[in-house]
Chain A
Amino acid sequence: MYPKKELAQIVISACAQFNIETVVVSPGSRNAPLTIGFSSHKEIETLSVVDERCAAFFALGIAQQTRKPVAVLCTSGSALLNYYPAVAEAFYSNIPLVIISADRPKHLIDIGDGQTIRQENVFANHILFSANLIENPKYKTRNSQLIGEALQVAISQQGPVHINVPFDEPLYETVPVLKAYNFPHISLSSLDNSHINYEKLSKSWNVAEKKMILVGVNYPDADLHSLMDLYAEDDSVLILTETTSNLHHDKAIDSIDQLIFSL
């Protein structure tokens, strides 16, 4: 069972095409078209969490481990604002989190309707991309492009994006199938490392008698670990590893705070 609304079909189809495997759904009516569609989709797992703040952090925990985007879906109004703490965390921790919020169409905002707030760009300060969709067949291409770009940014830049989806009533009409839509794959140039001037850097490295490698938040990485073996052999290199660096070495200082006192 899929939503009759074309805009909802486009959002679901895009998520499937960009391999969003998990959507954490919080209850509501305005998001019903998407809730119905996501829960019907065989390749998308839907998990239900009522409290949006918890839902977003739950999704963040999943994405922290899989390093693949996880979506959260909520209804309109203050529900969306409860995502904000997790959005900020995702922004600063580089975790791909896709926020999908249902909204009312523009003409129903600020005229006294319930569960209605100004949702467009609401995370402006801590988001990588905001897609403000419009429910109108003439904006179909624009909507598809915005959704595609949002998902691609979340994946390639590993951070939070927001897709705001306004729906007019009726919200519960369904059709049996999900149509196939095409989303442009924007070509993203991969990180170009040619700008790094190792020669120049090595000049100052090779004469410095004291070099400190300080490792902060980092995923477990066996290759980095074996590289540190090489660097630790150099007496002029001191390796400091924080608890969240997930790096362990015999010649590293792993409890930094034991060593530093105000002088």
Chain B
Amino acid sequence: MIISKRIKKFLRDYQPKEHWNIDARKATNTFLCLSEFIQIKPVDFFSHFNEFIRPLKSDYQPKWIAFRDERREKHLAYLKSIKYSDFSVFEQALNAIPESCQLQISNSSIIRYAQLFSMKATVNIFCNRGTSGIDGSTSTAIGAAYATEQQTVFITGDLSFFYDGNGLWNSNIPKNFRIIIINNSGGGIFRIIPGPKATNAAQYFETPHCLTAEYLCKMHQLEYQKAYSTETVIKELSRFFETSEKPKILEIFTPSAENDLVLKDYFKYIQ
């Protein structure tokens, strides 16, 4: 499964001469130009195939790696310049998570933000991309946390979190489980994608709200922390991963009216 809509669109619009899909289970014609379905585990394919191929001189990889490095620098420079928003909070959260943990990510805008950051190689990352629904991310993360020794951190948007609020109704949540909610008071994705804002029904897409997770945490007896600025995020994150008797939630409130502008400007800036 491929997440990036940009690479999907790119490869559909500018189709490669050949597309080989290597998967042990089923063929997916994601770019509408599938030429070979190779039914095998990727690791097995690449280890066998290695015996048959030879390298070729080309400027293809060096050119794109140079391009990547340029964009990475711009990415870092942009982060230094921006104000408090989903984007800045996301960076703070990623930097703060333990060196070795399992990261569960909810769907919609959170996974889209995640795609813009380089991840620590020691962190294992999961997201329900089979159907990409927002409906069960919290419950899935709790199941994964229950099944692994590693500490599990779940980063979620507010809509996904409240949608699966009953996910916390579970007496098997490990003590070291951590949830970071980036609460931008509605479905932020609908402010990011073109379309909804230009209609007369924006509120039915974005579904703005003033909900907080505080009372849900009380009801389910989780520890609750909240933050609403760069400084408070730093402060709360600094003690968030300390060992505790109960699982914890950190709810970070971000300004809904500015998040989409910060993201739009990001793409202009790094281009």
Complex: A208 Cα to B164 Cα, angstroms:
47
CB distance from A111 to the nearest CB of B (A): 32
Known: A60-B140, A199-B52. A251 touches B57 (CB 8 A): no
Q: Which of B159-211 contact A (CB under 8 A)?
A: 164, 166-167, 169-172
Residues of B within 8 A of A124 (CB): none
CB distance from B103 to the nearest CB of A (A): 9
| A233 at the B interface (CB under 8 A) | yes
By the criterion CB–CB under 8 Å, are A214 and B72 in contact? no
Known: A198-B52, A230-B50. A235 touches B62 (CB 8 A): yes
| A221 at the B interface (CB under 8 A) | yes
By the criterion CB–CB under 8 Å, are B25 and A246 in contact? no
Residues of A within 8 A of B61 (CB): 232, 234-238, 251
How many residues belonging to A are interface residues under a CB distance threshold of 8 Å?
A: 85
Complex: A201 Cα to B16 Cα, angstroms:
15
Complex: A53 Cα to B49 Cα, angstroms:
43
| A210 at the B interface (CB under 8 A) | yes
| A1 at the B interface (CB under 8 A) | no
Complex: A217 Cα to B126 Cα, angstroms:
8
Residues of B within 8 A of A125 (CB): none
Interface residues on chain B, size class: 35 or more
By the criterion CB–CB under 8 Å, are A235 and B130 in contact? no
Complex: A136 Cα to B73 Cα, angstroms:
70
| A61 at the B interface (CB under 8 A) | yes
By the criterion CB–CB under 8 Å, are A64 and B144 in contact? yes
Complex: A90 Cα to B13 Cα, angstroms:
30
Contact with B along A188-199 (1 / 0, CB 8 A): 000101011011
Nearest chain A residue, comparing its CB with the CB of B30: A216
Q: Which of B120-164 contact A (CB under 8 A)?
A: 121, 124-131, 133, 135-148, 164
B interface list, Cβ under 8 A from A: 1-4, 6-7, 9-10, 16-18, 20, 24-25, 36, 38-40, 42-62, 64-65, 67-68, 71-72, 75, 104-105, 111-112, 114-119, 121, 124-131, 133, 135-148, 164, 166-167, 169-172, 267, 270-271
User: Ordered nearest first, which 10 A-B pairs have the shortest CB separation?
Assistant: A61-B143, A92-B130, A57-B136, A93-B130, A57-B139, A236-B58, A202-B52, A234-B55, A248-B121, A65-B147
